[in-house]
Structure 1
Amino acid sequence: MKQFRTFVKKEFFHIFRDKRTMMILLGMPIIEIILFGFAISTEVKNVRVAVLDPSGDVITRKIIDRIDASEYFILTTKLNTPQEVEQAFRRGEIDLAVVFSHRFLDNLYTGDAKIQLIADATDPNMAVTQSGYASGIISAAQQELLPAGASPATIVPDVRLLYNPQMKSAYNFVPGVMGLILMLICAMMTSISIVREKEIGTMEVLLVSPMKPLLIILAKAVPYFVLSFVNLSTILLLSVYVLHVPIAGSLLALVSVSLLFIFVSLSLGLLISTITQTQIAAMLVSGLMLMMPTMLLSGMIFPVDGMPTILQVISTIIPARWYIDVVRKIMIEGVSITLVAKEIGILALMAFVLVTVSLKKFKTRLE
């Protein structure tokens, strides 16, 4: 029994000396419960609303005030023409638009007063939920604001689902799955490249070669970049011809941004490769540590705007978040590449930072 206790004590010492194991054993449950508890939410929060109110009468103003006072919606802008509605959606400024008919108050008692709700249906489930919440507020406001004894026709808002009127779930999941697949495959493929050289003993050959560290790192990425382009082509073909998700925008712009994202993912994998010692550790870091944040914090499944502020801030360092935004805008909404310049700039900055850090870590390990 004494020998058994000695062996148990020895195993505890081994675990306590390995900081990475301790982080996985004690840190991962904390991270997971926080992410799953706060990021997974189907509640409607912080929905950006635009209003087109050509009549501007007392009833429409009070309905608008009720929507703005709701905890679910944020009134961001007031539009002047119907053309501005879709422009606001294309610029990514709003999630929902409320459009009132002309002479709303005068037509309220004749049944000719109309309200249209226009929602961004790239995420069809969220669009339906947002429209339902807004319809409920409008219905309640109508009953409260009319004079006692009045009996106007009940207004049932006309809901228009922009970009995805058929409410196909593939329109929402294809951009997210593209980001997840490319991120995981690219990072996992490259994360073991330098570690493999260390394990099989060929790192010495790289050390004495005349190649600069930057060229060695880029040479590691080139084959995987070509293979990832093949994966991208396969994904796009399956999306269009099997899942029937059309490419509404420029195919060249979509491919160009995807190649930039592939390079970011490969750079992240190379960074993981330079800071890990074994292929197993590299696979675990690239697989486990990237999959969960990409799925939960990128907007792939749950909207980022509905998350707590701290998680929204953390999501800004997730490359897949910006790539998924770009794919939805170009592929589903059909916007021009100029309207996604911000996301492209962030991805380009991430690529530069990751390559720079990988180079620094690689040179440090060679010394």
Structure 2
Amino acid sequence: MKQLYIFIRKEFAHVLRDRKTLLILFGLPVVQILIFGFALTNEVRNAKIVIYDQAQDVASQQLISKIEASRYFDIAYAVMDRAGIEAAFKKGDIRLAVIFPQGFNNDLLHTHHAQIQVVADAADPNTATTLTSYITSIIQDYTAAQEPYQITPQIRFLYNPQLKGAPNFVPGVMSLVLMLVCVMMTAVSIVREKETGTMEVLLVSPFSPLMVIISKAIPYLLLSLINVTTILLLSTFVLKLPINGSIPLLFAESTLFIITCLTLGIFISVKTNSQQVAMLISLMGMMLPTILFSGFMFPVENMPLPLQLISNIVPSKWYYNIVKAIMIKGLGFSAIWKETLILVGITVILLFVSFKSFKIRLS
């Protein structure tokens, strides 16, 4: 019994003096419960919408006031024509548009019936369905207090009128697969050289350190492009999801994202010394942010502001938006230049930090 007590005390001493173990034991559960508690929700809140009020009468203003009072919607700005609404949808600035026709109040007074057009971005079918349900409920609440008036919402879904899941699923899978494969494979392959001691041999050879890293990354770049091709072929011929935009532009953006993921894998390999640690960081550290913060599974605008800010440093968020813009909306480079610039910036920063740390570590 005394020996058992001594071994238990020894294990406690090992755990308590290891800060990384304590962080995993106590820090990880706290972080996960906070993130999952705020991020995992089926409710959509603060969705940006526009209202095009052609009537400018009492009834339309009353209904707009009820929409403004709802916590589900955030009226982004007022537009004066349908072209402005279409442009806002293409930019991804809004999720929904509510259009009041001329003579809205007169129709209610004389015929006791009026119509409202509701246009939703159905590139994310789940969010589009939820938002149209919310707006329909608000309209029904208004008409219940204004009997015998009736207001019929005419609902239109852009980009995905059949509300298929593939337009949301395919870009998300591309982001997740490329992030996991590129980061994990690159990180593990470089750390393996450090573990076996062959990295020092390579560095003292005439081969420069930069060439060593590039030679490790190029195979995974080519293999990842094959993954992109496979996913696109399956989505087109099996899932019947057409590519509405430029295929060369889509491959160019995918190549940029792959390079970003490869540089992230290099960064992880520089900071770790074992394959197990590199794999754990690559799997858990990359998979959860991609699922939670890319907008693939849960709308980012639902989250508190600090989590929304954190999502901006997750590369998969920007690539996910790029793929949706090209594949689903059929937009060109002018609509995605901002996301492209962010990915380039993340890549440059990761490359700079990685190579600087790499040279210091092995000098």
TM-score, normalising length from structure 1? 0.95
Are the aligned partners of 2:44 and 2:299 in contact in 1 as well (CA < 8 Å)? no
Match of 2:83, as an amino acid?
Q
Structure 2: distance between partners of 1:87 and 1:192: 44
What does residue 294 of structure 1 align with?
290
Equivalent residue in structure 1 for 2:344, among 348, 358, 362: 348
Residues 8-36 of structure 1: CA distance to partner in whole angstroms, max 9, x if unpaired? Answer: 22222333343322222222111211121
| Contact 1:193/1:270, CA 8 A, preserved across alignment | no
Q: Are residue 117 (structure 1) and residue 118 (structure 2) matched?
A: yes
1:223-238 matched pairs, under 5 angstroms: 223-238=219-234
Which of the numbers 246, 250, 258 marks the counterpart of 1:250?
246
Secondary structure of 1:99's counterpart equals: strand
- Contact 2:114 2:152 (C-alpha < 8 Å) held by counterparts: no
Unaligned runs of 5+ in 2: none
For 2:123 and 2:20, locate their aligned partners in 1 and report how far apart those are by CA, in whole Å: 40
2:304 maps to what in 1?
308
Partner of 1:101: 101
Are the aligned partners of 2:97 and 2:118 in contact in 1 as well (CA < 8 Å)?
yes
The reply on whether 1:205 has 2:201 as its aligned counterpart is yes
Q: What one-letter code is carried by the residue in structure 2 that aligns with 1:22?
A: L
* CA shift in 2, pair 1:196/1:5, >3 Å: same
CA contact (8 A) 2:113 2:151 kept: no
Structure 1 residues without counterparts, runs of 5 or longer: none
Return the offset for 1:111.
5.3
Name the % identity: 48
Task: Name the residue aligned to 1:5.
Answer: 5
Separation (CA, whole Å) in 1 of partners of 2:105 and 2:93 = 29
Which letter does structure 2 place at the counterpart of 1:62? Q
Secondary structure at the counterpart of residue 323 of structure 2:
helix
CA-based RMSD: 1.5
Q: Which deviations, in whole Å up to 9, do the C-alpha atoms of 1:118-164 show, x marking residues without a partner?
A: 111111111111111111112222344x4xxx633x11201111111
Q: Secondary structure at the match of 2:268?
A: helix
Instruction: Give the SS at the match of 1:151.
Output: coil
Q: Is contact 1:45–1:306 with CA below 8 Å preserved after alignment?
A: yes
* 2:356 partner letter: K
- Partner of residue 81, structure 1: 81
Q: Which residue identity lines up with residue 184 of structure 2 in the other structure?
A: M
Taking the TM superposition and a 5 Å limit, the aligned residue runs for 1:86-235 are: 86-108=86-108, 109-110=110-111, 113-144=114-145, 146=146, 151-152=148-149, 154-235=150-231
C-alpha distance after superposition, 1:242-276 (max 9, x if no partner): 12221111111111111111111111111111111
Equivalences, count? 362
Counterpart in 2 of 1:280?
276
What does the per-residue CA deviation read over 1:44-92, in whole Å, with 9 as the maximum and x for residues that have no partner? 2111111122221111122112211211111112222223222110011
Letter in 1 for 2:21: T
Partner residue in 2 for 1:65: 65
Shift of 1:354: 0.8
